[in-house]
Amino acid sequence: MADEEQKYWVGFDLGGTKMMAEVFDEEFKILARERKKTKAHEGAEAGLERIAALIHEALDEADVGLDRLAGIGCGVPGPLDIDKGVLLDLPNLGWQDVRLKKALEDEFACPVAVANDVDAGTYGEYRYGAGKGARSVLGVFPGTGIGGGFVYDGKILRGKRHSCLEIGHCQVVSDGALCGCGRRGCLETVASRLAVSAAAAAAAHRGDAPHLLESTGMDISSIKSGALADAIAAGDTVIEQIVRDAARWLGIGIANAVNLLAPDIVVLGGGLVEAMPLLFLEAAGDAAHSRVMPSFETMFEVRVAELGDDATALGAAAWACDSIKKTD
Domains and CATH numbers, the chain: 8-116+310-327 (3.30.420.40), 130-306 (3.30.420.40)
- At residue 45, the pLDDT reads 92
- At residue 326, the pLDDT reads 66
- At residue 144, the pLDDT reads 87
- At residue 266, the pLDDT reads 98
- At residue 323, the pLDDT reads 87
Instruction: List, run by run, the mean pLDDT of 10-residue segments along the chain (328 residues).
Output: 78 91 97 92 90 98 96 93 92 88 97 96 98 97 93 93 90 93 95 96 97 95 96 98 98 98 97 96 98 96 96 97 77
Task: Name the residue among 187, 139, 163 with its Cα closest to residue 303.
Answer: 139
Q: State the first-to-last Cα distance of the chain, in angstroms, to the nearest integer.
A: 28
Task: Name the residue among 90, 105, 16 with its Cα closest to residue 55.
Answer: 105
- At residue 328, the pLDDT reads 57
User: How far apart, in whole angstroms, are the C-alpha atoms of residue 124 and residue 289?
Assistant: 25
User: How far apart, in whole angstroms, are the C-alpha atoms of residue 143 and residue 312?
Assistant: 15
List the beta bridge partners of residue 76: 116
The model's pTM: 0.94
Which phi-psi region, left, alpha or beta, contains residue 27 (left: φ > 0; alpha: ψ -120 to 50)? Answer: alpha
User: How far apart, in whole angstroms, are the C-alpha atoms of residue 284 and residue 136?
Assistant: 19
User: How far apart, in whole angstroms, are the C-alpha atoms of residue 272 and residue 13?
Assistant: 19
User: How far apart, in whole angstroms, are the C-alpha atoms of residue 227 and residue 224?
Assistant: 5
User: How far apart, in whole angstroms, are the C-alpha atoms of residue 309 and residue 243?
Assistant: 22
Residue 89 C-alpha from the chain's centroid: 17
